[in-house]
Structure 1
Amino acid sequence: MQPKSVSLIVTTYNWPSALELVLLSIKKQSHLPNEVIIADDGSGEETRELIQRYQATFPIPLIHSWQKDNGFRAARSRNLAIAKSQSNYIVMIDGDMVLHRHFIRDHKRIAKTNYFTQGRRVILTPSLTETLFKNNQYPISLFSSAVKNKLNAICCPLLSVILSPLLSKKSYQSIRSCNFAAWRTDIIAINGFNDDFVGWGREDSEFVVRLLNNGVKRQDLRFGGIAYHLYHNENTRKNLEDNDKRLELAIKNKEHYCQNGITQHLADAEVKHD
């Protein structure tokens, strides 16, 4: 079943130059999403001004969902953005993922009831990333020596239809919410992301463990849904031990619902909407 509408959620934190490249790539989509929601984890004034400037000319609604800067809280930030969404299908990317022009088309094509979709990323070198920033452009060639994992950069609908089912994994392993899609109802059914996750890591894996435990299956999108990952230094892992423990508990207890999730944000969004 094809989605009736698509909300694209873009996480960001104080990297407006990267976010601008992402927004430019969204504007050039062959199939536009119905809305874009920036899940902002506490960025400053420069990011706010960038979003306001793009809102004036953006071809679809561009919504700024912001929370206070109180550490790395990607889970809560995504929940806030999803709560504001108006579409029945949610596609999530990070604010350092520049999109191939058929990104949304490919995600819509593969969407299937009772499945979530894990996309892939193309790793860019520091030199190519610097060039993109310098020229404020995003076209990237598959044949560039600065593109590392070239197999992920091939866009071929025929290969995608044939090989995506064959190459799909069944577990939470290698989950990356930087290129991910799911039905909004499936997300709400498990209470979204777990707001208890603070600091980098495992909030997306734990989220997927609960989706799987709730009967939602995984499919991997191959040879389509291409997103180019801008180079940057790795985030700090200081909270990873605690986050690993939360993930292990979700697996051990076969959890399908978290207590501190999206429900509270849905209630807030409804009040503001009224």
Structure 2
Amino acid sequence: MRASVIISTYNSPEWLEKVLWGYSVQTVSDFEIIIADDGSTHETKKMVEAISGKTQLSITHVWHKDEGFQKTRILNKAILATTTDYCIFTDGDCIPRMDFVEAHLSHRSFNRFLSGGHFPLSLQLSSLISKNNILNQECFDLSWLKRHGLKTNFKNIKLSKSKAIAKLMNFITTTKPSWNGGNASAWKKDILIVNGFDERMKYGGEDREFGERLINYGIKPKRVRYFAICAHLEHERGYVNDEAWQINNKIREITRKEKKVKTLYGLNLHV
């Protein structure tokens, strides 16, 4: 195994199943999957077991009791469950294009972390996409997507199959490379040095803070926005609240101001 794909999820077995079918047709197969489950009901476990029996995927399901939004905590537990030296992070609502893992592996380099993004889909399109649409990659085909409601937009160029266009767009984009929880990767040794994710943080910039500590340590971000492609399935976000944002912003402010590298509330809480 050359990489560990860590997929966060919470009570979205239908979306997660679509994501896992995407990993079943990757152009490379030497990776493991770690499901970082933030307290889902038994339905998610049943679905993961069923997919494991239908595919060649190597899946480890890491679960803890539902205590509200604890994504940073379950991500740290998932990191400790990995068996490789390279970790790719994504979410259970992001279907990977068939070259997603290969893109992360081919662009990784020492003293770097990779910063990707996602291609957003409407709720209608998200619901429409079937297992077969994923297996035959129609869900990444612009003509198919437009026939089913995708609006014309310059951002659609992200789904271009041209490597030359992808290289050019990564070069000219003004989007600042940062740690994006749905599409990012790093060496495990660097993750261990910064002590993983800060478990004081709920939803709202918790992934960015992790990336800021990597940068403070000297790990530079590298754009792969147009190389590592995943389609984001739309859903409700009932876990968003202003209080968590305020707490997270204060933590991020201290991280940036004091150039903090290591959190005191990370992986150390589980070893």
TM-score (norm. length: structure 2): 0.89
Quickly say closer, same or farther: Cα 1:256–1:170, change in 2 above 3 A.
Answer: farther
Give the match for residue 205 of structure 2. 202
Quickly say closer, same or farther: Cα 1:112–1:165, change in 2 above 3 A.
Answer: farther
**Are the aligned partners of 2:177 and 2:223 in contact in 1 as well (CA < 8 Å)?**
no
**Are the aligned partners of 1:33 and 1:104 in contact in 2 as well (CA < 8 Å)?**
no
**Match for 1:30: what amino acid?**
T
**Match for 1:192: what amino acid?**
G
Correspondent of 1:88 among 85, 88, 101? 85
The CA deviation at 1:246 is: 1.2
**Are the aligned partners of 1:168 and 1:220 in contact in 2 as well (CA < 8 Å)?**
no
**Are the aligned partners of 2:126 and 2:233 in contact in 1 as well (CA < 8 Å)?**
yes
CA distance in 1, matches of 2:132, 2:44: 16
Correspondent of 1:223 among 207, 226, 241? 226
Give the match for residue 272 of structure 1. none
**Are the aligned partners of 2:119 and 2:230 in contact in 1 as well (CA < 8 Å)?**
yes
Give the match for residue 150 of structure 1. 156
SS of match in other structure, 1:196:
coil
String of CA shifts for 1:169-227, please: whole Å, max 9, x gaps. 6664xx421011111111111001111112x1111011011000000000110322110
TM-score (norm. length: structure 1): 0.88
**Match for 1:196: what amino acid?**
R
- Percent identical residues: 29
CA distance in 2, matches of 1:8, 1:107: 10
The CA deviation at 1:136 is: 6.4
Correspondent of 1:213 among 216, 219, 228? 216
CA distance in 2, matches of 1:12, 1:33: 22
**Are the aligned partners of 1:38 and 1:81 in contact in 2 as well (CA < 8 Å)?**
yes
Give the match for residue 263 of structure 2. 258
SS of match in other structure, 1:56:
helix
Correspondent of 1:76 among 73, 77, 80? 73
Map 1:37-76 onto structure 2 (within 5 A): 37-76=34-73
**Match for 1:82: what amino acid?**
I
CA distance in 2, matches of 1:45, 1:158: 45
**Are the aligned partners of 1:122 and 1:147 in contact in 2 as well (CA < 8 Å)?**
no
Give the match for residue 129 of structure 2. 132
Give the match for residue 106 of structure 2. 109
Give the match for residue 193 of structure 1. 197
The CA deviation at 1:132 is: 1.3
The CA deviation at 1:161 is: 4.3
CA distance in 1, matches of 2:177, 2:261: 14
**Match for 2:17: what amino acid?**
E
In the comparison of the two structures, how many residue pairs are matched?
Answer: 259
**Match for 1:261: what amino acid?**
G
CA distance in 2, matches of 1:253, 1:177: 23
String of CA shifts for 1:139-164, please: whole Å, max 9, x gaps. 31223234463122223333444553
**Are the aligned partners of 1:65 and 1:80 in contact in 2 as well (CA < 8 Å)?**
yes
**Are the aligned partners of 1:156 and 1:223 in contact in 2 as well (CA < 8 Å)?**
no
Give the match for residue 249 of structure 1. 254
**Are the aligned partners of 2:89 and 2:183 in contact in 1 as well (CA < 8 Å)?**
yes
The CA deviation at 1:252 is: 1.4
**Are the aligned partners of 1:194 and 1:260 in contact in 2 as well (CA < 8 Å)?**
yes
Structure 2: stretches of 5+ with no match in the other structure: none
CA distance in 1, matches of 2:91, 2:30: 16
**Match for 2:71: what amino acid?**
A
**Are the aligned partners of 2:115 and 2:177 in contact in 1 as well (CA < 8 Å)?**
no
CA distance in 1, matches of 2:262, 2:150: 39
Quickly say closer, same or farther: Cα 1:214–1:152, change in 2 above 3 A.
Answer: same
SS of match in other structure, 1:30:
coil
**Are the aligned partners of 2:115 and 2:225 in contact in 1 as well (CA < 8 Å)?**
no
CA distance in 1, matches of 2:189, 2:264: 17
